[in-house]
Structure 1
Amino acid sequence: MHGSTGGTDRPAQTESADPSPTALAQAQAQSPSSGGAGEAIVKEEGAQLDFSKDMSYGDYLHLDQVLSAQHPLSPDHNEMLFIVQHQTSELWMKLMLHELHGAVAQVAADQLPEAFKMLARVSRIMEQLVHAWDVLATMTPPEYSAIRPYLSNSSGFQSAQYRQIEFMLGNKNAAMLKPHAHRPALLAAVQAAYEAPSLYDEVLRLMQRRGIEVPPSHRERDWTQPYVANDGVTAAWLQVYRDPKAHWDLYQMGEELVDLEDAFRLWRFRHVTTVERVIGFKRGTGGTGGVSYLRKMLDVVLFPELWALRTEL
């Protein structure tokens, strides 16, 4: 039985001698929270931190060029946000184009597992771009008004990469070539996307190869024309969706495309709401109607039969 004082039991305590200096140093070195171990690691690894002879992180990523590419023209503090927002969006779009080109090539070659991976990545990139609007939305109308005079006619409407993405997803419009006519190299890239089969065009040709009848009008056509929904294509997709096990790859492809368009719709919606929040209904710097133009884009459907069939199932 433990002894008690004042009727309250207390655990027995044992006496121990003060730790020796050597034991204390060892304990500190072993303790994750102590500075001893950390300092030892830094000292040991520090000898490996001389990158004067080898390629460094900054060298590999060309960070000197990337981080020196921001050149505000106005004296306003908030212009840096505007520049970085659009530069990072262009970097994500560069990756999107890389993945879309790869996906189209894999679909044309009947290599669907690889295409699924690439399309899933494109959808996740779109999610990144959707959330990027949350950052730009912190810019208030007076803050944007302070930098707007310095933008001249520059506008995201002139983004050659974005236009290639639109064309690769099937939203073809010859008028959208004109903003790039003054840059031959850019025009060539946009024109190539304009004249090539879209991702959806290649998927429909894949369905025909897999034994799902697709109308000839949608297997071989003028690829520069906007895609027009077709009842025969809806019937083809219904055949896939009514028997997913028999057409699993095509069924998965349909859902990958729906994921992609779902993310793209969210991006467009966040775009128009952010623009309205920041500039209201003023005309865009590139000469478009601004919010009125962007709202029209909300009605564009990239893969119409994949949405229509849901009513039929």
Structure 2
Amino acid sequence: MTADPYLSCPVMADAAEPRLDFGGTTPYEDYVHASVLHSLQKTVTKDPREMSFLVITQVMELYFTLLVFEWRHTQERLRDDDVPGALDALRRSAAHLQALRAAWLPLARMTPREFNSFRDALGEGSGFQSGAFRHMEFLLGEKSASLLVPHRSVPALHAELEEALSAPSVYDDVLALLARRGHPVPAELLSRDLTQPYRPSAEVEQVWAAIYCGEPGELSDLGEALTDVAEQFTRWRHDHLIATRRAMGAKTGTGGSAGVSWLEKRARRDVFPELWTARSYV
């Protein structure tokens, strides 16, 4: 006779009331530091839309930090030949990018008049000056020494970005892994000047085509996880472009950039380029 599994399950006791009295702060505050986060919103104008812009921008910055963390962890896993661990981190980061993209929704509904109501409060401030976003781009292979210039007055941040500029990108570590697995990645790519932006390679394109033509496995899974990240990052750039066009048209950006034309140029650039072009040969 088979025992009824439900009869052996413990009966849940009535839920206990949560503890309400803590000395000093609460464990939640000690861990999350919520009061610090909530103290960072310092509006300059009385326009309520400025608070939305400020909070959403700060949320984006937190996501930038999270993505840098995930991609550096991805690199650690790749260097240890732990592809499953790298896949986990890449898939998490693709989900983070989707959440990051959602932050544009309220900002993308701003009319020029609404944005102008607090735009002067930004002064020369611009997202172009975000150190965490620059670190993200460097990890994706979007390298440029000139982009360090805005951060020269913050030595610690400048040093961090200078190190990231000279270090391998996530894709550099992927190519090194493919070479270790016996794929014919050109030696000059493995020893290239890492401070320069990555340029597409016909040989790497054929490597990915061969991986995709073969039996599905962890390397094709790696290609798809990287493509998910590239797609979500490109969509984020496009969302930024559309939100900017809607709020300010073709006017000069707050930080003195060309605004929409600069964003259009960046949005046309593919991250992990051979993963897109190799599909034509599969």
Aligned to 2:10: none
Task: Determine which structure has greater relative contact order: mean sequence separation of CA pairs < 8 Å that are 6+ residues apart, divided by chain length.
Answer: 2
Aligned to 2:246: 277
- Cα distance in 1 between the residues matched to 2:245 and 2:109: 13
Listed one character per residue, the Cα deviations across residues 122-175 of structure 1 (whole Å, up to 9, x for unaligned) are: 111110111111011232211210111111111100000000000000011111
Conserved? CA contact 2:109–2:246, under 8 Å: no
Listed one character per residue, the Cα deviations across residues 25-50 of structure 1 (whole Å, up to 9, x for unaligned) are: xxxxxxxxxxxxxxx97xx616x211
Residue 239 of structure 1 deviates from its aligned partner by: 1.6
Paired residue secondary structure (2:48): coil
Paired residue secondary structure (2:265): helix
Larger CA Rg, structure 1 vs 2: 1
Aligned partner of 1:159 among 127, 130, 142: 130
- Cα distance in 2 between the residues matched to 1:175 and 1:80: 32
Aligned to 1:94: 65
Aligned partner of 2:94 among 109, 123, 129: 123
- Cα distance in 2 between the residues matched to 1:64 and 1:207: 46
Write the letter of the residue equivalent to 2:179: Q
Runs (5+) with no aligned partner, structure 2: 1-13
Conserved? CA contact 2:141–2:169, under 8 Å: yes
Runs (5+) with no aligned partner, structure 1: 1-39
Residue 53 of structure 1 deviates from its aligned partner by: 6.0
1:247-286 alignment to 2 at 5 Å? Answer: 248-286=217-255
Aligned partner of 1:108 among 45, 63, 79: 79
1:179-218 alignment to 2 at 5 Å? Answer: 179-218=150-189
Aligned length: 269
- Cα distance in 2 between the residues matched to 1:273 and 1:53: 47
Write the letter of the residue equivalent to 1:274: A
Conserved? CA contact 2:129–2:150, under 8 Å: yes
Paired residue secondary structure (1:106): helix
Residue 56 of structure 1 deviates from its aligned partner by: 2.6
Aligned to 1:22: none
- Cα distance in 2 between the residues matched to 1:54 and 1:179: 39
- Cα distance in 2 between the residues matched to 1:244 and 1:134: 40
Residue 55 of structure 1 deviates from its aligned partner by: 3.9
RMSD over equivalenced CA pairs, Å: 1.4
Aligned to 2:6: none
Write the letter of the residue equivalent to 1:152: G
Aligned partner of 1:45 among 3, 14, 17: 17
Paired residue secondary structure (2:253): coil
Listed one character per residue, the Cα deviations across residues 85-127 of structure 1 (whole Å, up to 9, x for unaligned) are: 1000011111111111100111011011111010001111110
Aligned to 1:8: none
1:162-177 alignment to 2 at 5 Å? Answer: 162-177=133-148
Conserved? CA contact 2:250–2:261, under 8 Å: yes
Aligned to 2:279: 310
Aligned to 1:229: 200
Listed one character per residue, the Cα deviations across residues 54-107 of structure 1 (whole Å, up to 9, x for unaligned) are: 743223211111101000011211110010010000111111111111001110
Mapped pair 1:301 → 2:270: yes
Mapped pair 1:240 → 2:211: yes
Identity of aligned residues (%): 39
Paired residue secondary structure (1:229): coil
- Cα distance in 2 between the residues matched to 1:164 and 1:64: 27
Listed one character per residue, the Cα deviations across residues 257-294 of structure 1 (whole Å, up to 9, x for unaligned) are: 11100101110111000000011111111111111100
Paired residue secondary structure (2:17): helix
